[in-house]
A and B are shown apart, each in its own frame.
Chain A
Amino acid sequence: MNPVEKAARDSNVEKCVQCGKCTAGCPSGRQSRLRTRTLVQMAYQGEDVTGLPELWDCTTCYNCAERCPKGVNTVDTIILLRNLAVKKGNFPKIHLNAVENLYNTGNGFPLSPEVAQIRAIIGLDKEPHDVSTAPEELEKVKRIMDITGFLELVRGDRK
């Protein structure tokens, strides 16, 4: 069994009856090429969907998973497929900024000087009490990501 097929099976995908409730209730699908029903079918049949750009158009709203009459966890399937896509070197470069922010500051959205100023004016600590202002803790956070090989993984350098 190839890894895509395995990921699909882990999410109950074999129970899919192709009714299409997932696609019908998908807010992203009305705006994008994302067709959850088709994606699930392709993944189940072992087709390589990890290069499809629409894999990244799911907002993870879970409408589809809630409405599925067969209990297929469609969103978790998409998340697993994204993980596989990244492992295969298909990480969309547009997301690299978020990863680098997380690695360098501990936050997906880092503090800007403007907001630091607002924080001070409204009586909050100018810089939040988190890892970004605790160098020793931030080093530990980086170490965790070094151990999981996160940066190499998304950059496609992982051996």
Chain B
Amino acid sequence: MKLSLFPGCIAKNMYASIEKSTRFVFDRLGVELVDHRYTCCPAPGVFRGYDIDTWVTLGGRNLAEAEKDGLDVLTICNGCYGSLHGSNQILQEDIEKREEINEVLEQVGKRYNGGVEVLHFADVLSTMHDEIQEQKEFDLGLRLAVHYGCHYLRPSQHHESVNVENPHIVEDILELVGCESVDFKNRLSCCGAGGGVWSSDEEVALGVLQEKLAFMSEAEPEAILDICPFCHLQFDQGQKRLQKFSIPVLHLNQVLGMAFGERPKKLAIHTHLVSTREIEKKVKGLKKNL
């Protein structure tokens, strides 16, 4: 399998550890990732809220880059998924709108014909259970609080393959590497960062986060597990901003990377703000006992 990697602003420019583990994991799973000259997706709750036309035009430009090489797009962020999937849906279904956008794109020598599919990495991983099992070096035995994040689950008509009321796609993957997911109240709720609220209204963003963290911490997880760098940023930076809680935060690809035998330091999880030392110690111990 060969896919165009859409790393997104945050995994590239703020949490490079997520980009690193993504490249490691997909390489081990035999998926070739190709780079393209992308822009921000651009963020669905942010830039789409300012000007839908600019949002869908830049989305179309991104999709055109992958289409040129005949590749589908692999997103590792719910925002990128929501954004590119959303603009793709408009550009595939509304021919008139597509032509309107192409009139702009053609002025810079580009065109999008609607031939690309936008994939979320968790969905791709869910089709690779056998490969994941083959690559696993040891069971991690971590107790994790899974956070799905809004734009993976909703709007549900964008994601018909997932049971949005009671999803278990991530839990199923975690089980393959010996991780247990803990149950907690309102497990599918928002992290509080989306829609531009993270940058414009810290009190609201942190208020929503605190509610979620309180429910998570009751279940005493060893780490929070996310499938989105923006949620990841909110959990990691937010705990510091709240000066409350200190639950390590891990992206699914970081967990898989460790289970595949890569050293946590090489995956750079120690660059997170909330200390991951306990996780690193545990994984080191497991590796030693192999």
Contact = CB atoms under 8 A, between A and B. Distances in A.
A2 interface: no
Contact of A148 (B57, B196, B199): B57
B20 A130 contact: no
B13 A91 contact: no
B165 to A, nearest CB: 9
Contacts of A60: 44-45, 49, 150-151, 194-195
A83 B54 CA distance: 11
A71 B38 CA distance: 35
Given A56-B201, A140-B109, A62 B52 contact: no
Taking chain B's interface residues, is the majority helix, strand, or loop, or is none over half, making it mixed?
A: helix
A30 interface: yes
**Residue of B49, B107, B190, B192 with most partner-chain A CB within 10 A:** B49
Taking chain A's interface residues, is the majority helix, strand, or loop, or is none over half, making it mixed?
A: helix
A128 B22 CA distance: 14
Interface residues of A, number: 61
A118 B155 CA distance: 35
A42 interface: no
Given A108-B47, A144-B58, A66 B39 contact: no
The contact size tier of chain B is 35 or more
Contacts of A159: none
Contact of B50 (A95, A118, A144): A95
A95 B46 contact: yes
B39 A131 contact: yes
A73 to B, nearest CB: 8
Interface string A71-95: 0010100111011001000011011
Contacts of B164: 66
Interface of B: 7, 9-10, 12-14, 16-17, 19-20, 23, 35-40, 42-54, 57-58, 61, 104-105, 107-110, 150-151, 153-156, 164, 189-190, 192-197, 199-201, 203-205, 207-208, 211, 266-268, 271
